[in-house]
């Protein structure tokens, strides 16, 4: 008999789709389709999730394994759970005794965003007092940027895309990275309600379909945002009533915006003034507008500055939070209850995720527990990370669904069930819809979920803290007690679709209680109170390496279905000519951190001095792209700088 199970995609993505999983009488997944019970994600899926019926069975870790060969390699032998847990517990106790609990690191991110998969298992590590990371690898800098001016970063809900007359995707390739939000924009345009603008440093898939396209130099968006603001102010498109009632520091902002001359703007951004006028006119005339700011734009050295400047445009136009970035801070969910942080008397040590490679290389951690992440392809400064993980005094445990690059650097690999094999609750960072994610099939092989592992390890370690053993569903009930607008946790468990409560859009958690064009918080932290354009000095032979999400992969996932992430670099025609490079040639991208060997694709889609690549790829020799990425952090929000990676390029010979 065919069963249809309702679940939710938990991958790190803007969309968080509702799914229906068809399972046959033998418990095999036949197909995964979209479930229109969620009006935002509706009944269609991305090319990844739609293949989950195959992906779920590929490359799986099915049993606990222990290393028998040197790192890095896949040389393991199978052991029992009992053996694995004993070894891990002994090692943990030894490390804690000799080096203290600070020498234990747990490293995880959003491989599965389920509250029970990601957060609840942290109770063990928090009880031990282990070191954790600050989760800055993705969106932290943008959150902090917006918070400087708005108090918190939550913004428009996806439904507002349908009401906008101008929809601007800024540093956001939604046609690839958020196909459901993109579809809402396309629908609004098709029905004649809206125009779509894209602002991207390359001709992205979204740019190709836009009505208005601006192509600023990477890192020049603060200037561009000031240029647009200048136009809006000079043309009288700003909403003075709104500005005087809801904002603070407009005069300072205005002075700064008006300082920019057309010539300087054009020189820095490489965008002709007539295009700035065009988008200014669109912002002025097509009201209301909605500006969607991508994660891509804030992953560069001054990325947060760009987000600050962009986020202030809607305030000029008189719109309360007329931007979308991520709404995760607009919900009322008690994450600290789930992670057990609320039970702690002392805070546990936290280190930078972006700078982690160096700390591991220095030998700061002797025991590292990794789950929900594939850091051996996704963290910056891979050379240091790799050197660190092969140290003799570092013991690495990985809890994974698939055999990943990280497994090659681990001492023990534990099998984890995929999202189709466990119950959970997944919260989106864009829309408000939540429902129970039901287990569709039994865990494959001997895979055990994160909570089972946590509890059994806690028992082996003799930890008595009761909160570790709390029923996870009871913990969820408490953490979500104030979360929903239209029902209770019990309703959720019964299968009802609930909507998250949302913080009021016209409330600003800033020192002045207003939108602060001139940020008092920034001032008190020694940061320029106004967004600031920093210089973009590239030396003569240097290129900026942009790298972004692609349709067939979620980070390093789905290579099992679509093959390796293409090791290709897109290079501008003029640059290619100068360097004697043709499409299909092998080229070397290098900097002081390392080098990679990839195929060139000569194109007009990237501008001079810029190259673009799919992100997180592995080159022709198995070297990861992120060997080139420095582990530097941004000043604001401590985020990464993937899109400020500088490389030199030569033809391989």
Task: Give the nearer residue to ligand MGD in terms of CB position, either 121 or 249.
Answer: 121
Task: Give the nearer residue to ligand MGD in terms of CB position, either 342 or 588.
Answer: 588
User: How many of the other CB atoms lie within 10 Å of CB of 563?
Assistant: 9
Q: How far is the CB of 185 from ligand MGD (least distance, A)?
A: 13
| Neighbour-count burial of 540, counting CB atoms closer than 10 A to its CB (0-12 exposed, 13-18 middle, 19+ buried) | exposed
Q: How far is CA 450 from CA 119, 120, 285, 610, in A?
A: 10, 8, 52, 42
Q: How far is the CB of 100 from ligand MGD (least distance, A)?
A: 26
Task: Give the nearer residue to ligand MGD in terms of CB position, either 49 or 510.
Answer: 49
CA distance 581 to 369: 44
Chosen from Mo ion, ligand MGD, none, partner binding at 378 (C-beta under 5 to 8 Å by type): ligand MGD
Chosen from Mo ion, ligand MGD, none, partner binding at 218 (C-beta under 5 to 8 Å by type): ligand MGD
Q: What is the Cβ-side half-sphere exposure of residue 301, based on CA atoms within 13 angstroms? A: 16
Chosen from Mo ion, ligand MGD, none, partner binding at 300 (C-beta under 5 to 8 Å by type): ligand MGD
Chosen from ligand MGD, Mo ion, none, partner binding at 136 (C-beta under 5 to 8 Å by type): none
Task: Give the nearer residue to Mo ion in terms of CB position, either 104 or 138.
Answer: 138
| Neighbour-count burial of 490, counting CB atoms closer than 10 A to its CB (0-12 exposed, 13-18 middle, 19+ buried) | exposed
User: Which helix or strand (DSSP H or E) is residue 9 part of?
Assistant: none
Q: How far is the CB of 251 from ligand MGD (least distance, A)?
A: 28
Contact call for residues 469 and 458 (beta carbons, < 8 A): yes
Cis check: omega of the bond before 72, within 30 degrees of 0: yes
Task: Give the nearer residue to Mo ion in terms of CB position, either 219 or 296.
Answer: 296
Chosen from Mo ion, ligand MGD, none, partner binding at 421 (C-beta under 5 to 8 Å by type): none
Closest residue by beta carbon to Mo ion: 138
Task: Give the nearer residue to Mo ion in terms of CB position, either 137 or 315.
Answer: 137
Chosen from Mo ion, ligand MGD, none, partner binding at 111 (C-beta under 5 to 8 Å by type): ligand MGD
3-state secondary structure of 407: helix
Q: How far is the CB of 284 from Mo ion (least distance, A)?
A: 33
CA distance 630 to 632: 5
Q: For 353, phi and psi rounded to 5 degrees?
A: -70, -35
Task: Give the nearer residue to ligand MGD in terms of CB position, either 229 or 554.
Answer: 554
User: How many of the other CB atoms lie within 10 Å of CB of 11?
Assistant: 21
Q: How far is the CB of 367 from ligand MGD (least distance, A)?
A: 17
Q: How far is the CB of 399 from Mo ion (least distance, A)?
A: 21
Closest residue by beta carbon to ligand MGD: 296
Q: How far is the CB of 641 from Mo ion (least distance, A)?
A: 14
Contact call for residues 578 and 540 (beta carbons, < 8 A): no
Q: For 32, phi and psi rounded to 5 degrees?
A: -125, 125
Q: How far is the CB of 553 from ligand MGD (least distance, A)?
A: 6
Contact call for residues 270 and 113 (beta carbons, < 8 A): no
Task: Give the nearer residue to ligand MGD in terms of CB position, either 102 or 648.
Answer: 648
- DSSP class per residue in 112-166: S-BIIIIITTHHHHHHHT-BEE---SSSHHHHHHHHHHHSS-----GGGGGG-SE
Structure tokens at 544: 């900026």
Residues with Cβ within 8 Å of residue 489, at least 6 apart in sequence = 476, 477, 480, 481
CA distance 348 to 341: 9
What is the footprint of Mo ion within residues 36-75 (CB under 5 A)?
Answer: none
Residue with tokens 């694995």: 84
589 DSSP β-pair partners: 596, 649
3-state secondary structure of 94: helix
Q: How far is the CB of 137 from Mo ion (least distance, A)?
A: 7
Chosen from Mo ion, ligand MGD, none, partner binding at 314 (C-beta under 5 to 8 Å by type): none
Pairing, β 568-572 against β 515-516: unpaired
Candidate ranges 118-126, 131-139, 528-536, 631-639; the one touching Mo ion (CB under 5 A): 131-139
Q: How far is the CB of 221 from ligand MGD (least distance, A)?
A: 5
Structure tokens at 195: 């125009």
Q: How far is the CB of 422 from ligand MGD (least distance, A)?
A: 7
Chosen from ligand MGD, Mo ion, none, partner binding at 483 (C-beta under 5 to 8 Å by type): none
Task: Give the nearer residue to ligand MGD in terms of CB position, either 246 or 562.
Answer: 562
Q: How far is the CB of 571 from ligand MGD (least distance, A)?
A: 14
Residues contacting Mo ion: total by CB under 5 A: 1
Chosen from Mo ion, ligand MGD, none, partner binding at 171 (C-beta under 5 to 8 Å by type): ligand MGD
Chosen from ligand MGD, Mo ion, none, partner binding at 216 (C-beta under 5 to 8 Å by type): ligand MGD
Chosen from ligand MGD, Mo ion, none, partner binding at 549 (C-beta under 5 to 8 Å by type): ligand MGD
3-state secondary structure of 289: strand
Q: What is the DSSP letter of 198?
A: E
Task: Give the nearer residue to Mo ion in terms of CB position, either 34 or 296.
Answer: 296
Chosen from Mo ion, ligand MGD, none, partner binding at 557 (C-beta under 5 to 8 Å by type): ligand MGD
First to last CA, the chain: 60
Residues of this chain that interact with ligand MGD (CB under 6 A) are: 12-14, 109-112, 117, 137-138, 171-173, 176-178, 199-202, 204, 216, 218-219, 221, 294-297, 299-300, 371-375, 378, 399-402, 404, 416, 418-419, 450, 546-549, 551, 553-557, 615-616, 625-626, 629, 642-643
Chosen from ligand MGD, Mo ion, none, partner binding at 607 (C-beta under 5 to 8 Å by type): none
Q: For 292, phi and psi rounded to 5 degrees?
A: -100, 120
CA distance 108 to 370: 6
Task: Give the nearer residue to Mo ion in terms of CB position, either 138 or 306.
Answer: 138
Task: Give the nearer residue to ligand MGD in terms of CB position, either 186 or 243.
Answer: 186
Q: Which residue in 115, 138, 232, 606 binds Mo ion (CB under 5 A)?
A: 138
User: How many of the other CB atoms lie within 10 Å of CB of 573?
Assistant: 15
The reply to whether 457 sits near Mo ion by the rule CB under 5 A is no
Chosen from ligand MGD, Mo ion, none, partner binding at 109 (C-beta under 5 to 8 Å by type): ligand MGD
Q: Which of 488, 473, 464 is nearest to 343 (CA)?
A: 464
Task: Give the nearer residue to Mo ion in terms of CB position, either 178 or 247.
Answer: 178
Task: Give the nearer residue to ligand MGD in terms of CB position, either 114 or 151.
Answer: 114
CA distance 100 to 617: 37
Residues that bind Mo ion (CB under 5 A): 138
């Amino acid at each position: 008999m065919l069963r249809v199970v309702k679940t939710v995609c938990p991958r790190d993505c803007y969309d968080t789709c509702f799914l229906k999983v068809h399972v046959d009488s033998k418990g095999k997944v036949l197909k995964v389709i979209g479930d229109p019970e969620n009006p935002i994600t509706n009944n269609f899926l991305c090319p990844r999730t739609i293949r989950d019926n195959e992906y779920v069975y590929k490359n799986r870790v099915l049993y606990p394994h222990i290393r028998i060969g040197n790192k890095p390699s896949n040389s393991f032998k199978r052991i029992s759970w009992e053996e694995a847990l004993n070894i891990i517990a002994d090692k943990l106790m030894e490390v804690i005794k000799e080096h203290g609990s600070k020498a234990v690191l747990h490293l995880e991110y959003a491989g599965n965003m389920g509250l029970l998969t990601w957060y609840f298992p942290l109770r063990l590590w928090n009880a031990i007092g282990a070191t954790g990371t600050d989760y800055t690898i993705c969106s932290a800098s943008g959150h902090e940027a917006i918070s400087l001016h708005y108090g918190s970063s939550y913004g428009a809900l996806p439904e507002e895309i349908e009401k906008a007359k101008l929809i601007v995707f800024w540093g956001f390739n939604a046609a690839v990275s958020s196909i459901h939000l993109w579809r809402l924009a396309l629908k609004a345009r098709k029905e004649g309600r809206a125009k779509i603008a894209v602002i991207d440093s390359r001709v992205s898939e979204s740019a190709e379909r836009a009505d208005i396209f601006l192509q600023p130099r990477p890192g020049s968006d603060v200037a561009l945002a000031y240029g647009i603001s200048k136009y809006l102010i000079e043309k009288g498109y700003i909403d003075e009533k709104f500005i005087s009632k809801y904002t603070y520091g407009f005069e300072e902002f205005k002075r700064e915006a008006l300082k920019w001359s057309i010539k300087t703007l054009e020189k820095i951004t490489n965008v002709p003034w007539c295009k700035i006028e065009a988008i200014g006119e669109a912002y002025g005339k097509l009201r209301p507008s909605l500006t969607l700011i991508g994660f891509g734009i804030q992953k560069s050295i001054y990325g947060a500055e760009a987000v600050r400047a962009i986020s202030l445009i809607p305030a000029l136009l008189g719109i309360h939070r007329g931007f979308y970035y991520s709404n995760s801070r607009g919900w009322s969910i008690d994450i600290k209850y789930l992670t057990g942080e609320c039970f702690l008397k002392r805070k546990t040590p936290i280190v930078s995720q972006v700078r982690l490679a160096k700390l591991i290389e220095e030998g700061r951690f002797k025991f590292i527990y990794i789950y929900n992440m594939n850091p051996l392809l996704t963290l910056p400064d891979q050379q240091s990370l790799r050197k660190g993980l092969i140290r003799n005094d570092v013991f690495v445990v990985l809890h994974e669904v698939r055999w990943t690059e990280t497994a090659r650097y681990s001492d023990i690999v534990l099998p984890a069930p995929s999202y189709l094999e466990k119950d959970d609750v997944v919260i989106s960072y864009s829309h408000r819809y939540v429902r129970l994610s039901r287990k569709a099939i039994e865990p494959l092989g001997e895979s055990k979920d994160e909570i089972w592992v946590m509890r059994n390890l806690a028992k082996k370690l003799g930890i008595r803290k009761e909160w570790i053993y709390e029923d996870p569903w009871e913990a969820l009930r408490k953490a979500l007690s104030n979360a929903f607008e239209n029902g209770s946790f019990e309703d959720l468990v019964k299968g009802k679709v609930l909507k998250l409560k949302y913080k009021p859009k016209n409330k600003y958690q800033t020192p002045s209680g207003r939108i602060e064009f001139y940020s008092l918080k920034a001032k008190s932290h020694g940061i320029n109170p106004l967004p600031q354009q920093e210089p973009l000095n590239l030396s003569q032979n240097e290129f900026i390496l942009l790298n972004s999400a692609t349709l067939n992969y979620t980070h390093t996932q789905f290579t099992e279905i679509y093959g390796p992430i293409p090791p290709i670099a897109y290079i501008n025609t003029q640059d290619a000519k100068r360097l004697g490079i043709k499409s299909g040639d092998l080229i070397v991208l290098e900097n002081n951190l390392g080098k990679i060997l990839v195929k060139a694709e000569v194109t007009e889609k990237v501008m001079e001095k810029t190259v673009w690549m799919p992100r997180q790829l592995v080159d022709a020799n198995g070297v990861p792209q992120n060997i080139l990425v420095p582990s530097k952090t941004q000043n604001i929000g401590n985020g990464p700088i993937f899109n400020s990676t500088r490389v030199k390029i030569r033809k391989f010979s």
